């Protein structure tokens, strides 16, 4: 008989617990979740990149709505549980929903500590714990005024860095003499303060807050010294406390947190607890690695595998601020029975300290160079006697037994049970065995099967080295190639920084990202122009001088210097009137060749450069717009006749193709996009070799993507199946927008899909309706500002781009 499992809270720990439970006992429980937040499960440790602009909320979702639907899980969003009746075995939410349970898991997390000073409740005073806090900070950051962050720990520094990236003037107040004093020694704390201040953030240590000032809103922070620091935003980041109110009221044993044994069972045998609200052996935890270990133990307990027990292990501290590398673990306090080994490199900003007791490592602090952190941690966990390597210990693993010239020597020497990914508790042997068993060859696949480097990402380099060692020539990591000789940055970094730094013009990008040339080149300018068009559709004015000649003249240059003109025929459908207009243009301008293209259109070849404005003027009078045969954008949607004429047709393929093309034309994309809709599985429109294809079937529409039929020959992959034409349109548009936002310039969809991973694309576009709708809405928004057809007012009548290089005539003037 299926038991009823109810979970209070939907954070990272219960989410991971469910993953393990569904794998071990997929049919044992009927599962219901109550989540006080009005959303699905997301990665809280990635809130800092969301605040800085390096990631979007959609990118940090762990389980979208589709995941809960797939597993038959009932999720109550925005329902805060207010009562547990242990006798009746029921829970009740603040919205009046009551559920019975056989087993209950409490995962209420923690609450931020707010220092009790006057003014703490003023508008503009925020904590930093969840997405709502980040959203409020993003709104405040739009003012680009002044922010004060109270607290110089991990969260405080990450909040300060994010607000500074958003353009605010930020001051960090920290009551102790050095930053992150619980995780770093004073020397490393000093270096950290230098690194933070180099980012334009002011740091005040030994700063005790007396009051927050303001009349109806925050205006400043007063220190105990009487000094007043102006502020329009105050962020409290001074610590967290386990959220134990619900458990206390239910009569469970509570001390600092909800007390459990090492099987995650509370004082009530039918109630478990996981996450930041939990206390085990007098300890409560805030870092993700032990929370995930709790999740694994709780899942085993619920599944009936009771051998699993929680065992305390120190967890490394890492700061998620781009460009600041630090690593700290263990006990680094001074003591008479301890000795230390220190390495300093002032010019490189490197500081390393290893603390020993009885010739065993008990603590490590690394700043500026942290690659050996996992190795030091392994020696610490195993209590290895380091007497034999005492003289070379501080130089790291590669130097043991002499200087090694092999960059993989340290990885090879790493023990099989050495922890690689602290967030998810993944050891080296887990990675190597999964690679061997499943034949994995990509980082994305290793992440999907092991979760190594899938959380904060700081161990990505180590995972890639393990893959290189395991696969040899079979692993070809994507080496970051600079966009061109004008910059050392790759496409991904440029695109990330454009968003993170809110760069909205090409000169601004080149200045802020330290371009090596004054104006860029033919490789980087078109790419920058595309990224700015795609990222800031409402604010950036498309720079036609940064486009290739074909895009500037709306025609393809041929080998003899003449041009090829292709007017758009929606879905390959035309009429006698359109054909007559084309024939008239051919005769009038003595165009020497006319050809039907593979995309079901008519190509006029041999048009003289000086005739192009007049040719388009005449075509425009007949209602034609460009077919964009030259574009990094949607070119064609090839169709068959479908149910209108064909006796095998299952759906109106022509109608859907025309609808897709009219909805999406004019949207710039990283590379050309070709689509097709076939009315039945006979596939007359050849949809299975296109960037995006649709195969109509009796039950609806099968969506394909990532095909190629050019230099590379590749069949499509099935993304999913939908029932209605509206759903098909939404999926195709959302898929294209995801590609627009993540693709590198000139990277075709099939290459982008290979890099991102089909499973990840399916998760976001098919399994998560909310995320799909968000992509769809952003595409629609960007279309409002499309500037791709300047000779007509179909898309935008506000621009009069010069028909460069044929100045000074514009398309609008030519049409008139």
Domain count, the chain: 5
Residue 232 and residue 249 share a domain: no
Q: Which residues contact 531 (CB under 8 A, 6 or more apart)?
A: 494, 495, 498, 745
Region 141-150: what's the mean pLDDT?
90
Residue at 813 is within a domain: no
Annotated binding site: 640, 646, 680, 684
Burial of 295 (0-12, 13-18, 19+ CB in 10 A): buried
Q: What's the confidence (pLDDT) of residue 531?
A: 95
Residue 181 and residue 205 share a domain: yes
Residue 252 and residue 133 share a domain: no
What CATH number should be reported for the domain holding residue 772? 3.30.413.10
Flag whether pLDDT at 444 surpasses 90. no
pLDDT band at 406; cut points 50, 70, 90: low
Residue at 312 is within a domain: no
633 SS3 class: strand
Flag whether pLDDT at 241 surpasses 60. yes
Residue at 442 is within a domain: yes
pLDDT band at 472; cut points 50, 70, 90: confident
Burial of 74 (0-12, 13-18, 19+ CB in 10 A): middle
Residue 94 and residue 131 share a domain: no
Residue at 339 is within a domain: no
**What secondary structure does DSSP assign to 388-411, as a single string?**
GGTTTGGG-GGGTTS----TTHHH
Which of 211, 238, 265 corresponds to the end of one domain?
238
pLDDT band at 277; cut points 50, 70, 90: very high
Region 105-110: what's the mean pLDDT?
96
Residue at 792 is within a domain: no
Which of 419, 442, 477 corresponds to the end of one domain?
477
Region 288-298: what's the mean pLDDT?
92
Residue 106 and residue 246 share a domain: yes
Which of 449, 477, 505 corresponds to the end of one domain?
477
Residue at 456 is within a domain: yes
Region 276-304: what's the mean pLDDT?
93
What CATH number should be reported for the domain holding residue 211? 3.50.50.60
pLDDT in tens, 562-617: 999 999 999 999 999 999 999 999 999 999 999 999 899 999 999 999 999 999 99
- Asked whether the beta carbons of 813 and 799 are under 8 A apart, the reply is no
Peptide linkage before 549 cis (omega within 30 of 0) = no
pLDDT band at 480; cut points 50, 70, 90: low
Annotated binding site for siroheme: 684
Residue 231 and residue 248 share a domain: no
Query: How high is the mean pLDDT of the chain?
Result: 87
Residue 749 and residue 642 share a domain: yes
Residue 230 and residue 176 share a domain: yes
Residues 713, 693: Cα–Cα separation, whole Å = 15
Residue 778 and residue 640 share a domain: yes
Residue 651 and residue 773 share a domain: yes
Residue 248 and residue 103 share a domain: yes
Write out the residue range of the structural domain in which residue 209 sits. 125-238
Residue at 778 is within a domain: yes
What CATH number should be reported for the domain holding residue 442? 1.10.10.1100
Q: Which residues contact 746 (CB under 8 A, 6 or more apart)?
A: 527, 632, 670, 671
Residue at 600 is within a domain: no
Residue 231 and residue 183 share a domain: yes
Residues 135, 120: Cα–Cα separation, whole Å = 19
pTM: 0.65
Annotated binding site for [4Fe-4S] cluster: 640, 646, 680, 684
Peptide linkage before 384 cis (omega within 30 of 0) = no
Residues 200, 204: Cα–Cα separation, whole Å = 13
pLDDT in tens, 156-215: 999 999 999 888 999 999 999 999 988 888 888 888 998 999 889 999 999 999 999 999
């Amino acid at each position: 008989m299926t038991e009823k499992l109810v979970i209070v809270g939907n954070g990272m720990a219960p989410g991971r617990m469910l993953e393990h439970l569904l794998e071990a006992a997929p049919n044992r429980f009927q599962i219901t979740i109550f989540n006080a937040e009005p959303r699905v499960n997301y990665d809280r440790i990635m809130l800092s990149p969301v605040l800085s602009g390096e990631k979007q909320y959609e990118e940090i979702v762990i389980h979208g709505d589709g995941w809960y639907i797939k597993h038959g899980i009932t999720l109550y969003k925005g329902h805060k549980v207010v009562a547990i009746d242990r006798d009746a075995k029921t829970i009740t939410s603040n919205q009046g929903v009551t559920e019975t349970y056989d087993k209950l898991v409490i995962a209420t997390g923690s609450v931020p500590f707010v220092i009790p000073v006057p003014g703490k409740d003023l508008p503009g005073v925020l904590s930093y714990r969840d997405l709502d806090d980040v959203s409020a900070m993003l709104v405040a950051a739009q003012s680009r005024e002044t922010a004060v962050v109270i607290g110089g720990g991990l969260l405080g520094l990450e909040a300060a860095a994010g607000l500074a990236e958003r353009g605010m003037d930020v001051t960090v107040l920290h009551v102790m003499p050095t930053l992150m004093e619980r995780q770093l020694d004073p020397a490393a704390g000093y270096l950290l303060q230098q690194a933070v201040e180099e980012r334009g953030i002011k740091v005040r240590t030994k700063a005790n807050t007396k009051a927050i000032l303001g009349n109806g809103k925050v205006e400043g922070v007063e220190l105990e010294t009487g000094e007043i620091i102006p502020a329009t935003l105050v962020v409290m980041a001074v610590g967290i406390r386990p959220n134990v109110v619900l458990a206390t009221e239910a009569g469970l044993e509570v001390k600092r947190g909800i007390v459990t044994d090492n099987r995650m069972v509370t004082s009530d045998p039918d109630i478990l607890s996981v996450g930041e609200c939990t206390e085990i052996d007098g300890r409560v935890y805030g870092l993700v690695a032990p929370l995930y270990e709790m999740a694994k133990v709780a899942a085993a307990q619920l599944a009936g595998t009771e051998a699993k027990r929680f065992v305390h292990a120190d967890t490394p501290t890492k700061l998620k601020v781009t460009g600041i590398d630090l690593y700290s673990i263990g006990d680094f306090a001074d003591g008479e029975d301890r000795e230390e080994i220190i390495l300093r490199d002032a010019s490189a900003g490197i500081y390393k300290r290893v603390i020993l007791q009885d010739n065993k490592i008990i603590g490590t602090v690394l700043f500026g160079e942290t690659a050996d952190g996992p190795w030091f941690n392994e020696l610490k966990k195993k209590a290895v006697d380091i007497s034999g390597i005492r003289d070379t210990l501080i130089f790291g693993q590669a130097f043991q037994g002499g200087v090694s010239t092999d960059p993989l020597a340290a990885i090879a020497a790493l023990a099989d049970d050495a922890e690689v990914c602290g967030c998810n508790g993944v050891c080296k042997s887990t990675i190597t065995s999964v690679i061997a068993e499943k034949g994995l060859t990509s980082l994305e696949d290793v992440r999907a099967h092991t979760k190594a480097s899938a959380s904060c990402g700081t161990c990505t380099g180590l995972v890639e080295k393990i893959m290189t060692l395991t696969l040899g020539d079979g692993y070809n990591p994507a080496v970051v190639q600079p966009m061109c000789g004008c910059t050392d940055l790759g496409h991904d970094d440029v695109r990330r920084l454009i968003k993170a730094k809110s760069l909205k013009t090409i000169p601004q990008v080149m200045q802020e990202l330290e371009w090596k040339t004054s104006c860029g080149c033919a490789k980087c300018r078109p790419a920058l122009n595309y990224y700015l068009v795609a990222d800031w559709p409402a604010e950036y004015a498309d720079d036609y001088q940064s486009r290739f000649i074909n895009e500037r003249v709306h025609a393809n240059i041929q080998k003899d210097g003449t041009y090829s003109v292709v007017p758009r025929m929606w879905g390959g459908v035309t009429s006698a009137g359109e054909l007559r207009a084309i024939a008239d243009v051919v005769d009038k301008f003595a165009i020497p060749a006319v050809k039907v293209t593979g995309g079901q259109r008519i190509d006029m070849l041999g048009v003289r450069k000086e005739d192009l404005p007049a040719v388009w003027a005449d075509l425009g009078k007949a209602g034609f717009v460009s077919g964009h045969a030259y574009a990094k954008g949607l070119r064609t949607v090839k169709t068959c006749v479908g149910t209108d004429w064909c006796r095998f047709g299952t759906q109106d393929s022509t109608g859907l193709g025309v609808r897709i093309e009219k909805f999406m034309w004019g949207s710039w994309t990283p590379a050309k996009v070709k689509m097709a809709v076939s009315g039945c599985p006979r596939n007359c429109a050849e949809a299975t070799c296109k960037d995006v294809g649709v195969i109509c079937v009796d039950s609806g529409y099968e969506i394909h993507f990532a095909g190629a039929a050019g230099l590379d020959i590749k069949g499509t992959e099935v993304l999913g199946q939908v029932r209605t034409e509206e759903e098909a349109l939404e999926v195709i548009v959302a898929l294209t927008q995801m590609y627009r936002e993540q693709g590198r310039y000139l990277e075709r969809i099939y290459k982008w899909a290979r890099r991102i991973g089909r499973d990840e694309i399916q998760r976001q576009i098919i399994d998560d309706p909310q995320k799909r709708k968000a992509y769809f809405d952003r595409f629609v928004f960007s279309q409002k500002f499309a500037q791709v057809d300047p000779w007509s007012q179909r898309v935008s009548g506000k621009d009069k781009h010069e028909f460069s290089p044929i100045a000074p005539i514009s398309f609008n003037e030519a049409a008139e």
